[in-house]
Amino acid sequence: MRTQHNTVALTFRAPSDFIKTTDDLARFSGVSRSDYIRQAVEEMNARTLAKRMTFLSGRLNAETLAINEALDASLGDGLADR
């Protein structure tokens, strides 16, 4: 069990069948409803952050490639090594 620091209550509305399924699965998993939902949200956050990092990395790679191509093109600008 983790120690909770600076916790804030989070409430949301959900259909009763969602709550029943969540309670059943949490009980089956041996955790509280709160821990079950917290773990599910943490997993979704991790997946979403990974997708975001992949997207940003792709953008950065594209920008870096464009800069490198511009630098390569400038090699023929008449400023030869002397």
Instruction: State pTM to two decimals.
Output: 0.62
CB 55 within 8 A of CB 66: no
Query: Is it the case that residue 80 has pLDDT exceeding 60?
Result: no
CA distance 46 to 53: 10
pLDDT band, very low/low/confident/very high, at 2 (cuts 50, 70, 90): low
What is the model's pLDDT at position 81?
A: 57
Beta-carbon contacts of residue 32 (< 8 Å; ≥ 6 apart): 26
Cα dihedral across residues 42, 12, 33, 27: positive or negative: negative
Residues 5-59: tens digit of each pLDDT: 888 999 999 999 999 999 999 999 999 999 999 999 999 999 999 999 988 888 7
